[in-house]
């Protein structure tokens, strides 16, 4: 570049500095600097160990990104650099130029090593990938069809399972069961991409698997293999199969019902997909399978877990005592907040279990919609304290004569929060003291009563006690709070509270 700049300048007989800058893409200041230095000075300048670019310190991270994601644009790399380094302040143009240079060094020198061994082993591998196609007309309405493609790596025999709702773990397992029954056996290994239906998390290629899928694979007898992220080539057969199902099987078709769609796919598999001449092998998948692969497949029997919809699943309760199940939230008892619980579906009921004792701790009717919260208010109270125990404590504090009356009054007024009202009464008595006979008699003569009203009345009556010595009851009502709850009349020497 320096030699090119000097040749374009030609000791002042060639292009101007501005023209050279436009021609080479180098700033005018840099052009001037290079023209000012002779060859030896330039060599010393370039070789100087003290000459450090600001962007040099980010090279290791940029190389790391390009090695793992060769297709990253410089704009995306810049965004990642700003997220990782708070002091990042390199211009867009400088970053683009250096990323282009590093891309040549890092990406073009990468060599991908392929391992076609499993393709040559019958019955060894099956590749699985979900897909979806929108605007499929079913029953006169545009519908999204969710499907899963199963392809045997050796023979290229294919199976397609479909659903009209997003695929969850239970549906995914049933689709595997249908595929293995269609094949007439089970392969030794199943390859997936990093779908959450199979892989919950990956760090350093160490996988955290979906518990139910891992259980199913163990029972059936195949091993799970997950591709690296963003690496479709390692699962290319089924990737091509997904496109084949979309374009050849579903696109441009209309169906009277979901059953019609399923029947069409079965017919398409038997008469089109599995009897065509495969573009790679040059053979019919069905013929290759029958001749060479069927005998190598492991025997398959449907395990019981396939038919236990919702069995064996666990959920983590959050700090508010809610768990998620099929896009809705359900409450668990207070003691199980932030704990693992088991869940099981029985018909239209959701059963919640203790993970250790496997005893039922809660039961909810299943909600058919999405985004709803179904709560049992008893789950947010201490179940160890029974209502009868609280009633006994109130009666013990106040006495049998008025204790039962007070409890009945609270229950009639607030039946849904009766337990809380009893707890409130005990707390008030503990703080203000036990009311005397006259005070509790006045309070119990009300038609309705809540714990808050009890507190206000008792506080007032303790400040303005009743004087019965003259045979006439006279109260001084000075509390504004009491005026909101009662009016006092004198009838035959007795206090009547309204």
Domains of the chain are 2-106 (no CATH), 118-305 (3.30.420.10), 310-380 (no CATH), 387-497 (no CATH)
- Check if the beta carbon of residue 32 is closer than 8 Å to that of residue 17: yes
* Closest among 498, 495, 478, 475 to 487, alpha carbons compared: 498
Q: Which of 189-193, 301-305, 359-363 has the lowest mean pLDDT?
A: 301-305
Q: Is the pLDDT of residue 26 over 90?
A: no
Nearest C-alpha neighbor of 496 from the set 431, 452, 442: 442
Say if residues 439 and 463 touch (Cβ distance below 8 Å): no
Please state at what angle helix 418-432 crosses helix 387-398, rounded to 10 degrees.
Answer: 30
**What pTM was computed for the model?**
0.45
Distance CA 360, CA 344 (A): 10
What's the CA gap between 67 and 148, in Å, rounded? 31
pLDDT digits (tens, 9 = 90+) for 73-105: 888 888 888 887 888 878 888 888 888 888 777
User: For position 288, what pLDDT does the model report?
Assistant: 94
pLDDT at residue number 239: 57
Q: What is the pLDDT of residue 133?
A: 92
Decide if 217 contacts 191 (C-beta within 8 A): no
Residue 486's pLDDT band (boundaries 50, 70, 90)?
very low
Short-list 66, 2, 64, CA closest to 31 = 2
Kindly tell me if the per-residue pLDDT of 268 is higher than 90: yes
Least confident of 51-55, 116-120, 245-249: 116-120
Distance CA 311, CA 351 (A): 10
pLDDT grade, residue 330 (50/70/90)? very high
The residues, ordered by sequence, that sit 6+ positions from 394 with a Cβ below 8 Å of its Cβ are 403, 406, 407, 422, 425, 426
């Amino acid at each position: 570049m320096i030699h090119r700049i000097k040749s374009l300048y030609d000791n002042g007989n060639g292009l101007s500095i501005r023209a050279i800058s436009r021609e080479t893409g180098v700033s005018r200041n840099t052009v001037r600097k290079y023209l000012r230095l002779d060859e030896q000075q330039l060599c010393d300048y370039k070789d100087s160990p003290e000459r450090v670019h600001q962007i040099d310190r980010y090279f290791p991270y940029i190389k790391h990104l390009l090695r793992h994601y060769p297709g990253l644009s410089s704009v995306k790399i810049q965004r990642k650099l700003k997220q990782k380094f708070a002091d990042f302040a390199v211009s867009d143009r400088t970053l683009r130029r250096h990323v282009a240079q590093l891309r040549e060094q890092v990406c073009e020198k990468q060599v991908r090593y392929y391992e076609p061994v499993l393709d040559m082993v019958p019955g060894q591998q099956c590749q699985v990938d979900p897909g979806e196609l929108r605007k499929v007309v079913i029953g006169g309405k545009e519908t999204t069809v969710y499907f899963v493609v199963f392809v045997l790596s050796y023979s290229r025999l294919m199976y397609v399972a479909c659903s009209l709702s997003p695929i969850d773990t239970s549906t995914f397992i049933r689709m595997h069961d249908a595929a293995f029954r269609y094949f007439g056996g089970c392969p030794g290994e199943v390859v997936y991409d990093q779908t959450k239906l199979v892989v919950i998390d990956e760090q350093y290629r160490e996988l955290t698997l979906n518990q139910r899928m891992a259980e199913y694979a163990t029972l059936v007898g195949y091993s799970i293999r997950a591709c690296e992220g963003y690496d479709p080539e390692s699962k290319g057969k089924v990737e091509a199969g997904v496109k084949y199902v979309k374009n050849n099987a579903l696109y441009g078709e209309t169906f009277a019902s979901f059953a019609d769609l399923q029947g069409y796919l079965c017919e398409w598999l038997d008469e089109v997909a599995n009897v065509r001449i495969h573009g790679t092998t040059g053979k019919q998948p069905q013929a290759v399978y029958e001749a060479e692969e069927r005998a190598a497949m492991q025997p398959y029997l449907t395990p019981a877990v396939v038919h236990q919809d919702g069995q064996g699943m666990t959920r983590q309760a959050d700090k508010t005592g809610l768990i998620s199940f099929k896009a809705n939230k359900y409450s668990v008892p207070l003691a199980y907040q932030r704990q693992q619980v088991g869940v099981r579906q029985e018909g239209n009921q959701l059963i919640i279990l203790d993970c250790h004792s496997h005893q039922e701790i809660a039961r909810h009717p299943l909600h058919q919609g999405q985004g709803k919260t179904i709560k049992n208010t008893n789950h947010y109270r201490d179940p160890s304290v029974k209502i009868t125990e609280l009633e006994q404590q109130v009666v013990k504090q106040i006495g049998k004569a008025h204790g039962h009356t007070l409890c009945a009054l609270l229950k009639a007024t607030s039946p849904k929060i009766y337990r809380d009202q009893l707890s409130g009464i005990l707390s008030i008595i503990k703080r203000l003291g036990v009311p005397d006979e006259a005070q509790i008699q006045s309070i119990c003569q009300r038609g309705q009563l809540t714990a808050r009203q009890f507190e206000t009345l008792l506080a007032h009556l303790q400040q303005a006690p009743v004087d019965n010595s003259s045979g006439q009851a006279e109260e001084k009502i000075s509390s504004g709070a009491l005026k909101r709850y009662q009016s006092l009349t004198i009838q035959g020497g007795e206090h009547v509270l309204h």
